[in-house]
Amino acid sequence: MTRTATMIPGRGETMRVTVSIIKADIGAIGGHTIPSAEVIGIARERVERAKRSLLIDGYTCHTGDDIALIMTHTRGVGNAEVHQLAWETFVACTEKAKTQGLYGAGQDLLKDAFSGNVRGLGPGSAEMEFQERPSEALMLLLGDKCGAGAYNLPLYLAFADPMYSPGLLVSEALHDGFTFQILDMDYSGGDRMITLPAPDRLYDIAALLRDTNRYAIRGIWSRKFPNEQAVAVGTERLRNIAGKYVGKDDPPAIVRVQKIFPATEEFGPVFGLGAFVGGDTRGSHNLPLMPVPINTPASTYFCCPMVSALGFSVHEGILTGPSDLFADPFWHHVRDQVAGKAMEMRRQGFFEPAMLPMSELEYGGIVARLKGLEREFKVQQQTAGAPAGSE
């Protein structure tokens, strides 16, 4: 994408920093719930140790059974050493997970050898390099039991809809809108993407983003300051790598907030909606995306999709935080409402849209069974009496 250099007024010379979130599900206690304390301890220890060399700063946590390594450095996006640190950390975590008999130990490590980048190996990553603003505010999103399109509706509403994002009306910095980069996740020949500006192409953006199983927001940029990236989402699909269902994608995302971007609180109502997304039990159903605090176990209630949000301030790469953005008292009420949506949907069991459409089903069994029924279908004439094949 070509971008002209428009500087944010009054920023002066600040540091260029890279934020990398690399995450993986490498096993959990008693099902797809939470990693063990020992496994998280290994991850935390590795990140802490790297703070003295490779990294400026780091933070380790989990959402459901996915462990996230949050790292700051100056090495740019896709740096081989940073990715190797994450890969080796997850390999060490897997060894421990296996000794503990954790369920799905090493689930997201789909390849044996590291080849310079975790992309295509199983772990998910969201990375962004930017020049720090004097008050650089970040919101990091970590998902579990959901696909990479799970953030489509909340991010669309926050970056393109003034009903939810009043900053688009009241702030000159936001008034020009944002550019959306959208990935076609069904295309297997590489990263097939389209870049569309909002509000000019709003209906085209909406037409794509409504299909969260096929299209996912990969990135969002400011239009007034085209060098300024607002959002980076990790859009790796495990199914595309493994060729079959091995676990859900559980996307990480980096969102820069405040000033030339929507304010942190403008993301509250859009996540409070609890939009229905694909995922949950066996990766084969639709349930609402539940906003949860950091380090929440996956829900025994049908593995309802979940997202946590970590607020950080960054200065010269040093992270201050996190502020647990879905933990204040208001979210109890939101969670009650989202739980209500989930329970209502579960009442209709396997019937669509509670179960995903056949084209999206992550488990092969039902698809194979329907193929088997094909030969029993017969084209019949409209005649009176019992149909052929009835006893």
Could you tell me if 186 and 139 are in contact, meaning their C-beta atoms sit under 8 angstroms apart? no
Taking CB within 5 to 8 Å according to partner kind, which of Mg ion, ligand 13P, none is near residue 96? none
Residues 6+ apart with CB under 8 A from 11: 131, 133, 134
> In whole angstroms, how close is the CB of 247 to Mg ion at the nearest point?
5
Binds ligand 13P (CB under 6 A): choice among 23, 32, 218, 335: 32
Binds ligand 13P (CB under 6 A): choice among 282, 315, 341, 346: 282
- For 345-360, b/e burial (b = at least 16 CB within 10 A) is bbeeeeeeebbbeeeb
> In whole angstroms, how close is the CB of 246 to ligand 13P at the nearest point?
8
Residue nearest to ligand 13P (CB): 247
Tokens coding 239: 């199914």
Q: Does residue number 248 form part of the binding site for ligand 13P (CB under 6 A)? A: yes
| The one segment of 10-18, 42-50, 244-252, 325-333 that binds ligand 13P by CB under 6 A | 244-252
Binds Mg ion (CB under 5 A): choice among 57, 65, 236, 324: 65
Of 23, 96, 145, 248, which residue is the catalytic one? 248
- Of the candidates 304, 298, 278, 241, the one whose C-alpha atom is nearest the C-alpha of residue 361 is 278
Q: Does residue number 247 form part of the binding site for ligand 13P (CB under 6 A)? A: yes
- Mark whether 328 is an active-site residue: no
Could you tell me if 198 and 160 are in contact, meaning their C-beta atoms sit under 8 angstroms apart? yes
Tell me the per-residue interface mask from 237 to 256 with Mg ion, x by CB under 5 A, - otherwise.
Answer: -------------x------
Taking CB within 5 to 8 Å according to partner kind, which of Mg ion, ligand 13P, none is near residue 127? none
Site size with ligand 13P, rule: CB under 6 A = 15
6 forms beta bridges with: none
Binds ligand 13P (CB under 6 A): choice among 268, 283, 288, 305: 283
Q: Does residue number 25 form part of the binding site for ligand 13P (CB under 6 A)? A: yes
Residues 6+ apart with CB under 8 A from 251: 124, 126, 141, 143, 146, 147, 148, 150, 151, 216, 233, 234, 235
> In whole angstroms, how close is the CB of 23 to Mg ion at the nearest point?
9
- Mark whether 25 is an active-site residue: yes
Tell me the per-residue interface mask from 65 to 104 with ligand 13P, x by CB under 6 A, - otherwise.
Answer: x--------------------------------------x
- Of the candidates 291, 366, 371, the one whose C-alpha atom is nearest the C-alpha of residue 326 is 291
Of 25 and 129, the one with the shorter C-beta distance to Mg ion is: 25
Of 25, 66, 250, 280, which residue is the catalytic one? 25
Residues 6+ apart with CB under 8 A from 332: none
Tell me the per-residue interface mask from 326 to 345 with ligand 13P, x by CB under 6 A, - otherwise.
Answer: --------------------
Residues 6+ apart with CB under 8 A from 193: 181, 182, 183, 184, 218
Q: CA-to-CA distance for 16 and 72, rounded, in angstroms?
A: 11
Alpha helices in the chain (DSSP H): 37-50, 80-99, 152-160, 167-170, 172-175, 202-209, 238-242, 268-272, 330-346, 364-374
Taking CB within 5 to 8 Å according to partner kind, which of Mg ion, ligand 13P, none is near residue 283? ligand 13P
Backbone angles phi, psi at 356, to 5 degrees: -65, 155
DSSP one-letter string for 253-287:
EEEEESTTS--GGGGHHHHHT--EEEESGGG-EEE
Is 366 in a helix, a strand, or coil?
helix
Measured CA to CA in angstroms, residue 53 lies from 43, 46, 74, 129, 131 at distances of: 16, 11, 11, 19, 21
Of 204, 245, 301, 341, which residue is the catalytic one? 245
Tell me the per-residue interface mask from 129 to 168 with Mg ion, x by CB under 5 A, - otherwise.
Answer: ---------------x------------------------
- Mark whether 187 is an active-site residue: no
Binds Mg ion (CB under 5 A): choice among 66, 127, 236, 280: 66
Task: Provide the terminal-to-terminal Cα distance of the chain, rounded to the nearest Å.
Answer: 65
Taking CB within 5 to 8 Å according to partner kind, which of Mg ion, ligand 13P, none is near residue 268? none
User: Rule CB under 5 A: which residues touch Mg ion?
Assistant: 25, 32, 65-66, 104, 144, 250
Write out the residues near ligand 13P by the rule CB under 6 A.
Answer: 25, 32, 64-65, 104, 107, 144-145, 247-248, 250, 281-283, 303
Q: Which residues are the active-site residues?
A: 25, 245, 248
